[in-house]
Amino acid sequence: MPSKVYFSPAGATNWAESLIAKAKELFYLAELDKCIKPGDTVAIKVHVGEWNRTAVLRPEYVACIVEEVKKCGGKPFVTDSTTLTYHAFNSRFDEIGILKSAYRHGFNPNSLGCPVVPADGYIGHDDVRVEIPNGIILKETYVGRAIACADAVLNIAHAKGHPITSFGGCIKNFGIGGQSKRGKYTTHLAMWGDPADAIGYPLVNAQNCAGTGCKWHKLCEDGCPESAITISEKGFKLDFGKCRLCYSCQVTCLFTGETAIGFRDDYFPYAQIAMSDAARGVLNLFAPEKVGYMAYVVDVAPECDCFPWAGLPIVPDIGILASKDIVAIDTAAVDLIDAAPNYPGSRAEELGLKPGDDKFKAVNLVTPRIQLRAAERLGMGSMQYELEKVEPVLTPENIGKHQYLQEPSTLTLRKWYKKGGHVLDGVLPFKRIPFEQRNWQEFA
Ligand code: SF4
Ligand code: SF4
């Protein structure tokens, strides 16, 4: 049986077609309300985005779901986890940084209508160990405690690319975003194998390093949280015994245009599989009926929201998806992106991609379907889905359904004006002045 995925396209010409109104409708059509019993604590997992990232979810996309969770009697909180360092200037490595980044992007209690709670504590050490008996690579992972302890969880993803996992949707929102720091080290395969041949460790091309002759060498040395890197005139030395695979040195070297530290080519597909394992770990904490998914396929940048910048989206905004199946919703997002035309000036256009091409494979070099197939093998859901397109029709009954007030605000003003003190009292009737006919076409 294919899984049901509900889809509302982006774009609107009236109240009922607002993406917010559509999100609220999809929440019920996909039966995400059934995840919540009155009194349940509901973790709403989002990616709050890196400092200076400009393609993250708009807070209203999440606030509208918070409102519905409350109507269901749930006690929602919005959550995200701390990062590894990833690069030397990462903002979200601790609780203060994650909150400041969240607030800067507009995710705060005032805008959302609920608390914002870092999932894994002050420096990412507060977690719950989870076994993954059927894991393909990983057999355990560590989930942020705030997520693990919730009664229900809603995974609200931003669909976008990722240079390591190719695509980031709902699977990544759990498989990386739901993990504490040690969960992330595990998911990144730092613990897998022996340092001499471990696939997760930095791939060193020492001959490409000019040592202290490299203008980035100070940053390179300072960028390792484990002090595993020493730079000298002869080049650099990496102490694999100290390395925990935080990505900081690879990113510093690669993103500054150097080529001395990188990854094995086969790291990328394995990283996707491990990410699906770790997402399985999150699901192992919940009964299936307590987990629901939404994905905003808008601002589909080629890289992840963990980047401190945003490339042009690769496709125009597509819309919003909702489902009870994590594999189906991510498969639908990837398929819709592949089917879409290129966004002008984007990397997809530079590459000359056509509708139907595997866009993330072209942009990020590995097909994102690896994570989908792995997740399917892990019993997390199905890549077979039935897409039900939902295009609300404006009616007198639904016109105000999702507005700030459900009855016309004009009626409220009418009531207040009747009480007196109206700004126009004493001014009306307006003193009319003759209207001189002018030729507006002079300005056209
Ligand atoms: S950034 Fe790369 S090339 Fe420069 S010092 Fe570090 S490892 Fe060497
Ligand atoms: S050596 Fe290891 S711990 Fe240090 S910056 Fe590189 S990946 Fe991170």
Q: What is the DSSP string of 291-353?
A: EEEEEEE-S--SS-TTSSS-PPPSS---EEEEES-HHHHHHHHHHHHHHSPPPTTSHHHHTT-
Band of residue 270 on the pLDDT scale cut at 50, 70, 90: very high
Is there a single domain that holds both residue 236 and residue 352?
no
pLDDT tens, position by position, 310-335: 999 999 999 999 999 999 999 999 99
Is there a single domain that holds both residue 287 and residue 431?
no
Band of residue 116 on the pLDDT scale cut at 50, 70, 90: very high
- For residue 189, what pLDDT is reported? 83
Does the residue 368 lie in any domain? yes
Residue nearest to atom 6 of ligand 2 (CA): 249
Query: Is the pLDDT assigned to residue 139 strictly greater than 60?
Result: yes
Rounded to whole angstroms, the Cα distance separating 67 from 169 reads 23
- For residue 300, what pLDDT is reported? 98
Q: How far is the CA of 240 from the centre of ligand 2 (A)?
A: 8
- What mean pLDDT comes out for the span 38-53? 98
87 touches 247 (CB < 8 A): yes
Q: Which residues contact 227 (CB under 8 A, 6 or more apart)?
A: 242
Query: Is the pLDDT assigned to residue 88 strictly greater than 90?
Result: no
Is there a single domain that holds both residue 348 and residue 228?
no
Does the residue 399 lie in any domain? no
Query: Is the pLDDT assigned to residue 218 strictly greater than 60?
Result: yes
Ligand 1: atom nearest CA of 221 is 6
Is there a single domain that holds both residue 326 and residue 185?
yes
Is there a single domain that holds both residue 138 and residue 272?
yes
- Of 262, 291, 310, which residue is a domain's last? 262
Rounded to whole angstroms, the Cα distance separating 254 from 250 reads 6
> Model pTM?
0.95
- What mean pLDDT comes out for the span 142-146? 98
Q: Is 151 helix (H, G, I), strand (E, B) or coil?
A: coil
Ligand (nearest to CA of 250):
2
Q: How far is the CA of 87 from the centre of ligand 2 (A)?
A: 10
For the chain, give the percent of residues with pLDDT over 90.
84
Does the residue 162 lie in any domain? yes
Q: How far is the CA of 411 from the centre of ligand 1 (A)?
A: 67
Residue nearest to atom 5 of ligand 1 (CA): 217
Residue nearest to atom 2 of ligand 1 (CA): 253
- What mean pLDDT comes out for the span 392-411? 95
Does the residue 356 lie in any domain? yes
Q: Which residue has the tokens 């022996």?
A: 194
Ligand 2: atom nearest CA of 244 is 3
Is there a single domain that holds both residue 49 and residue 180?
yes
- What mean pLDDT comes out for the span 164-173? 97
CATH number of the domain to which 230 belongs? 3.30.70
Query: Is the pLDDT assigned to residue 375 strictly greater than 60?
Result: yes
Q: How far apart are the first and last CA of the chain?
A: 58
Q: Establish how many alpha carbons lie within 13 A of residue 136's alpha carbon, considering only the half-sphere containing its beta carbon.
A: 24
327 touches 320 (CB < 8 A): no
- For residue 192, what pLDDT is reported? 60
Does the residue 318 lie in any domain? yes
- Of 219, 237, 262, which residue is a domain's last? 262
Does the residue 400 lie in any domain? no
177 touches 153 (CB < 8 A): no
Rounded to whole angstroms, the Cα distance separating 150 from 171 reads 18
Rounded to whole angstroms, the Cα distance separating 314 from 368 reads 15
- For residue 332, what pLDDT is reported? 99
Which of 55-64, 197-206, 323-332 has the weakest average pLDDT? 197-206
Is there a single domain that holds both residue 103 and residue 27?
yes
CA 224 to chain centre: 26
- What mean pLDDT comes out for the span 46-60? 98
Query: Is the pLDDT assigned to residue 194 strictly greater than 70?
Result: no
Q: Which residues contact 55 (CB under 8 A, 6 or more apart)?
A: 49, 158, 160, 299, 301, 305, 310, 313
Helix axes 267-283, 369-377, angle to 10 degrees: 40
Rounded to whole angstroms, the Cα distance separating 396 from 212 reads 71
Domain around 363: 3-190+266-389
Q: How many domains does the chain have?
A: 3
Band of residue 441 on the pLDDT scale cut at 50, 70, 90: confident
Residue nearest to atom 3 of ligand 1 (CA): 209
DSSP states along 68-98: HHHHTT-EEEEEE-----SSTT-S-SSHHHH
- Of 243, 262, 281, which residue is a domain's last? 262
280 touches 135 (CB < 8 A): yes
For the chain, give the percent of residues with pLDDT over 70.
98
- For residue 307, what pLDDT is reported? 94
- What mean pLDDT comes out for the span 89-98? 96
Rounded to whole angstroms, the Cα distance separating 287 from 368 reads 27
CATH number of the domain to which 333 belongs? 3.40.50.11440
Query: Is the pLDDT assigned to residue 198 strictly greater than 60?
Result: yes
- What mean pLDDT comes out for the span 126-137? 96
- For residue 221, what pLDDT is reported? 93
261 touches 249 (CB < 8 A): yes
Rounded to whole angstroms, the Cα distance separating 75 from 112 reads 13
pLDDT tens, position by position, 221-257: 999 999 999 999 999 899 988 888 888 999 889 989 9
Query: Is the pLDDT assigned to residue 193 strictly greater than 70?
Result: no
Is there a single domain that holds both residue 292 and residue 437?
no
Band of residue 104 on the pLDDT scale cut at 50, 70, 90: very high
- What mean pLDDT comes out for the span 337-366? 98
62 touches 107 (CB < 8 A): yes
Strand bridging mode 152-158 / 41-45: parallel
Substitution candidate for ligand 2 out of 239, 248, 255 with most atoms within 8 A of CB: 248
Between 102 and 202, the higher pLDDT residue: 102
Does the residue 195 lie in any domain? no
Which of 186-190, 258-262, 279-283, 293-297 has the weakest average pLDDT? 186-190
Q: How far is the CA of 219 from the centre of ligand 1 (A)?
A: 9
Residues forming beta bridges with residue 232, ordered by sequence position: 235
Query: Is the pLDDT assigned to residue 196 strictly greater than 60?
Result: no
Mean pLDDT (the chain, rounded): 95
Rounded to whole angstroms, the Cα distance separating 173 from 45 reads 7
Ligand (nearest to CA of 207):
1
Q: What is the DSSP letter of 62?
A: H
Residue nearest to atom 7 of ligand 2 (CA): 245
Q: How far is CA 70 from CA 64, 67, 98, 189, 324, in A?
A: 10, 5, 24, 38, 19
- For residue 87, what pLDDT is reported? 87
326 touches 380 (CB < 8 A): yes
- What mean pLDDT comes out for the span 43-69? 98
Query: Is the pLDDT assigned to residue 58 strictly greater than 90?
Result: yes
Q: 2: phi > 0 → left, psi -120 to 50 → alpha, else beta; which?
A: beta
DSSP states along 35-54: G--TT-EEEEE-----TT--
Is there a single domain that holds both residue 433 and residue 318?
no
Is there a single domain that holds both residue 246 and residue 354?
no
Is there a single domain that holds both residue 221 and residue 326?
no
330 touches 169 (CB < 8 A): yes
Does the residue 327 lie in any domain? yes
* Opening angle at CA 235, ends 233 and 236, nearest 5: 120
Is there a single domain that holds both residue 241 and residue 360?
no
Residues forming beta bridges with residue 153, ordered by sequence position: 43, 291
